[in-house]
Chain A
Amino acid sequence: MNPKKLTALAGVAALALALAACGGGDEGGEGGAGKTLNVLIAANTQYPDEFAAWQKDVSAKFKARTGAEVKFETFASANDELTKIQTSVVSGSGPDVYAVGTTFTPTAYSTGAFVKLGDEEWNKIGGKDKFNPATLGISGPDEQNQVGIPWVSRPFVMAYNTDMLKAAGIDKPATTWDELGQQAKQMTKGDEFGLAIAYKDNFDPWKFVWGMSVQAGNPLVDGKTAKLQDPTVQKAYDTYFGWLTRDKVVDPAAVGWTNPQAVAAFAKGKTGYFMLTTPTAINSLEQGAVKGKWKFALLPTVPPGATTRPADGVEAASILSGDNLLVADYSKNKDLAFEYVKLVTDQETQLDYYKKFGNLPANAAALQTLASDPQLGPVTEAAQKSVATPFTGAWGDIQLALTNVAVQSLPDLGKGSISTQQIDSRIADAQKAAQTALDRAK
């Protein structure tokens, strides 16, 4: 044979082989009890052994109920998950059930790759009523278009050092941001500081700004309009930066802190409040000098500069935080997928999951059993008073723009002062980015 022809033939053969290999990813297929359900779930680096045991346990229960196997696939970071969703969405095959973070749910929804939940689907998993109503806030853009089934909550709260508050003559933790600043000043002296804040964290800063703005009546997104260039947002950044530059109630080193570093600082027992944490930090706190001398409290819900919340303000104690379960549209095992969702959102499984990993139940009855726990009381309350961030595919970009204001302001914070003009010009940039993202939203 002519070498050229031979080359071409070999090339085509190899290509065909490779493509065939790419295509063969579906498992299960038509086989009754021999089916396998694929579940994509975040890896748990904090408790890897317990997590493996939990997976085994759930698999066994699922097999007993349905006869089918569950195969767990884990992802290490949100990016891994996104990549997995991308490839699955493009190829139309992959995991049947995804565990997706709440703030990422709108983005996942915008791909249109997940099953919209009608009455039939909700009934399959035991009805909508079994969930803490607040957790349904980010399941979809409206009641008719929900894709996310609440699985676990990780509401944000603050932790405070009981000894330090007592020593400063403070009898109960602050409920307004102004009061918080005042108390922080009372506790700041020598090497002791009022607040621990992770200024360099890539996720924390926007949560403060969103919370204070929502409490002041500005949800940041109004339909297709971004409302970042607004006095409420300006006041929020001013307060947030002011703790460090004006009030000097934060350790100057906090300019370089991420959230775990702020946890570590608070755990040393020389900080009054640690803003923005979740029950997953309990272990770290109990291992530090602060052991036995700290409690959780709700984050303030009255906006800065006010003593009561304005009429249009929302009592947002936390962003609606946690994980939702999404069933893939392309799944050939949708019934099994809903069976799995039902299993892991049942009261018993939810409480077991809480005990192992510290994630609060989304199941209302299960959450209620924890409300009487004095340590968890404020956290369960925060779970009920969580408010969803705007449900738009543009939210990822808006969140990024809000964080970027903080990131680009760090050098000024390091120098010890930041002007209103500087804040305003950075907010203007953020507004532009947010509006561009909203204009693209479909």
Chain B
Amino acid sequence: MTILARPPEKITAKKEQRRRGVTERQRPLWLLTPGGVLMVLVILIPLAVALWISLIDLDQYTLRRWVEAPFIGLDNFVEAFGSGLLNSIWISVSFSVLSTIATVPIGIAAALVTQNKFRGRGLVRAVFLIPYVLPSFVVATVWRTMLQPDGVVNAWLSKVGIEGGLWLTGPRSYWALILVEIWAAWPFIYLMALAALQSVDHEVHEASAVDGAPWWPKLYRVILPYLRGPVLLACLLATLNHINNFTLPFVLFGAPAPEDVNVMPMIVYVTSFQSLRFGLSAAMAVLSLVLIAIPLFVYLRAVRLDVHEEGGRR
């Protein structure tokens, strides 16, 4: 038996070896070339140039011969920290996290509401997407008009006996920014939550129905765990989007921005295009890139979005 059993084993081993050889050694990697070249051209080279610019004293006076601009090491980074960047980082991060925290319950609730079929569901779903598909510029312009001292918002507030005041300058501008960002960004969470809801197997609903689970435990213990992964990913992406949002604060408040909403993209913009300190602004941009990379890295390590491994398991 044992003697008879050996030869087939050998054959499979050989076969497997050959197959692995094909997949690993002779994979047609060159097919990645177009994408690779594009990545080098569009991402890596500009990134390298940005890093280089952050190390030289590039401004309007040296722009013409930028290759010869004096190398000043980390001076730009030192100056960046001295010129209000830390404050901007704090504003950016707190604004982004608050906006994300506020949009999650709204997004999930909206997804749950439109999960079951009812008349006009398609319409409701479409309406929910309006804030998301409107260009940021339009959203900001409309809100800027509404938030004027003598605008619609203050008129409504005064009807219920609340004194509106200034929304686009001073400490309140921070909350105005968060409010508008929430208005514009919650449909993203909604979309991701909706997609996750639709991936819940039909059997799960049936099983909880058979067990007679009331709606709340069903929602809390059965459905929401399904949403965890996609919504966490949505939170990460949304937060990064908030941090990077330039159009909204720029159109809402203009440049120079009130100190309370001097977010990172604004300070980089003003340094670059109004003060023409390209080296300094590149250093600021590099720092904000590092800042954004940290949560991204942590998240990617945590969830291990390794498709290959997962595919192998299945």
B169 touches A411 (CB 8 A): yes
- Interface residues of A, count at CB 8 A: 41
B275 touches A7 (CB 8 A): no
A79 touches B30 (CB 8 A): no
Known: A11-B40, A18-B41. A410 touches B169 (CB 8 A): yes
A11 touches B36 (CB 8 A): yes
For chain A, residues 289 to 337, give those with C-beta under 8 angstroms from any C-beta of chain B.
none
Q: Chain A's nearest CB lies how many Å from the CB of B30? A: 5
Cα distance, A408 to B260, chains bound together (Å): 9
Cα distance, A93 to B119, chains bound together (Å): 61
Q: Residue A403 contacts which of B165, B256, B258, B276 (CB distance < 8 angstroms)?
A: B256
Cα distance, A407 to B262, chains bound together (Å): 12
Number of A-B residue pairs, CB cutoff 8 Å, is: 104
Known: A11-B37, A253-B149. A440 touches B255 (CB 8 A): no
B30 touches A10 (CB 8 A): yes
CB nearest neighbor in B for A89: B64
Interface stretch, picked from A107-115, A267-275, A340-348, A383-391, is A107-115
Q: Residue A202 contacts which of B61, B64, B168, B256 (CB distance < 8 angstroms)?
A: B256
Interface stretch, picked from A27-35, A224-232, A278-286, A393-401, is A393-401
Cα distance, A396 to B275, chains bound together (Å): 6
B256 touches A407 (CB 8 A): yes
A255 touches B256 (CB 8 A): no
Q: Chain A's nearest CB lies how many Å from the CB of B260? A: 9
Residue B21, interface by CB 8 Å: no
Residue B288, interface by CB 8 Å: no
Residue A52, interface by CB 8 Å: no
Cα distance, A440 to B273, chains bound together (Å): 16
Residue A6, interface by CB 8 Å: yes
Known: A202-B256, A414-B149. A82 touches B273 (CB 8 A): yes
Interface centre among B29, B30, B165, B259 (most CB of A within 10 A): B30
For chain A, residues 7 to 23, give those with C-beta under 8 angstroms from any C-beta of chain B.
7, 10-11, 14-15, 18
A15 touches B275 (CB 8 A): no
Q: Chain B's nearest CB lies how many Å from the CB of A435? A: 14
B276 touches A396 (CB 8 A): yes
Residue B148, interface by CB 8 Å: yes
Q: Residue B150 contacts which of A6, A256, A396 (CB distance < 8 angstroms)?
A: A256
B170 touches A437 (CB 8 A): no
Cα distance, A397 to B60, chains bound together (Å): 12
For chain B, residues 27 to 66, give those with C-beta under 8 angstroms from any C-beta of chain A.
28-30, 32-34, 36-37, 40-41, 59-61, 63-64, 66
Which residues of A lie under 8 Å from residue B254 when comparing CB positions?
A: 200, 202, 258
Q: Residue A440 contacts which of B32, B59, B168, B258 (CB distance < 8 angstroms)?
A: B59
Q: Chain B's nearest CB lies how many Å from the CB of A248? A: 15
Residue A172, interface by CB 8 Å: no
CB nearest neighbor in B for A201: B254
CB nearest neighbor in A for B29: A3
Residue A355, interface by CB 8 Å: no
A253 touches B148 (CB 8 A): yes
Which residues of A lie under 8 Å from residue B168 when comparing CB positions?
A: 200, 256
CB nearest neighbor in A for B172: A411
Residue B166, interface by CB 8 Å: yes
Q: Is the interface of B mostly helix, strand, loop or mixed?
A: loop
CB nearest neighbor in A for B61: A442
Question: Contact string, A78-99, partner B, CB cutoff 8 A, digits 1/0?
Answer: 0100110010011000000000
Which residues of A lie under 8 Å from residue B33 when comparing CB positions?
A: 6-7, 10-11, 14
Residue B2, interface by CB 8 Å: no
A414 touches B64 (CB 8 A): no
Q: Chain A's nearest CB lies how many Å from the CB of B155? A: 12
Interface centre among B151, B165, B273, B274 (most CB of A within 10 A): B274
Q: Residue B60 contacts which of A7, A10, A111 (CB distance < 8 angstroms)?
A: A111
Q: Chain A's nearest CB lies how many Å from the CB of B265? A: 14
B41 touches A414 (CB 8 A): no
Which residues of B lie under 8 Å from residue A89 when comparing CB positions?
A: 63-64
Interface centre among A252, A253, A411, A441 (most CB of B within 10 A): A411
Known: A403-B256, A404-B256. A90 touches B63 (CB 8 A): yes
Which residues of B lie under 8 Å from residue A79 when comparing CB positions?
A: 273
Q: Chain B's nearest CB lies how many Å from the CB of A397? A: 5
Q: Chain B's nearest CB lies how many Å from the CB of A5? A: 10
Which residues of B lie under 8 Å from residue A441 when comparing CB positions?
A: 61
Cα distance, A238 to B287, chains bound together (Å): 39
Cα distance, A86 to B34, chains bound together (Å): 30
CB nearest neighbor in B for A113: B64
A3 touches B30 (CB 8 A): yes
Interface centre among B28, B165, B170, B259 (most CB of A within 10 A): B170
Which residues of B lie under 8 Å from residue A15 when comparing CB positions?
A: 37, 40-41
Which residues of A lie under 8 Å from residue B36 when comparing CB positions?
A: 7, 11
B166 touches A107 (CB 8 A): no
Residue B270, interface by CB 8 Å: yes
Cα distance, A200 to B253, chains bound together (Å): 9
Known: A90-B63, A112-B64. A407 touches B166 (CB 8 A): no
Cα distance, A424 to B30, chains bound together (Å): 65
Q: Residue A6 contacts which of B30, B34, B276 (CB distance < 8 angstroms)?
A: B30
CB nearest neighbor in A for B166: A414
30 residue pairs A–B, Cβ–Cβ below 8 Å: A3-B29, A7-B29, A7-B33, A14-B33, A14-B41, A79-B273, A82-B273, A86-B63, A90-B63, A107-B276, A111-B64, A113-B64, A200-B168, A200-B254, A253-B148, A253-B150, A255-B166, A256-B148, A256-B149, A256-B168, A396-B274, A396-B275, A407-B256, A407-B257, A407-B258, A408-B258, A411-B166, A411-B170, A411-B258, A414-B149
- Chain A residues with CB under 8 Å of chain B are 3, 6-7, 10-11, 14-15, 18, 79, 82-83, 86, 89-90, 107, 110-113, 200, 202, 252-253, 255-256, 258, 393, 396-397, 400, 403-404, 407-408, 410-411, 414, 437, 440-442
Q: A10-B33, A410-B258 are in contact. List 8 more A-B contacts (CB 8 A).
A: A14-B41, A18-B41, A79-B273, A89-B64, A256-B169, A400-B256, A408-B259, A411-B169
Sorted from nearest, which 4 A-B pairs have the closest CB atoms? Answer: A411-B170, A410-B169, A253-B150, A414-B166
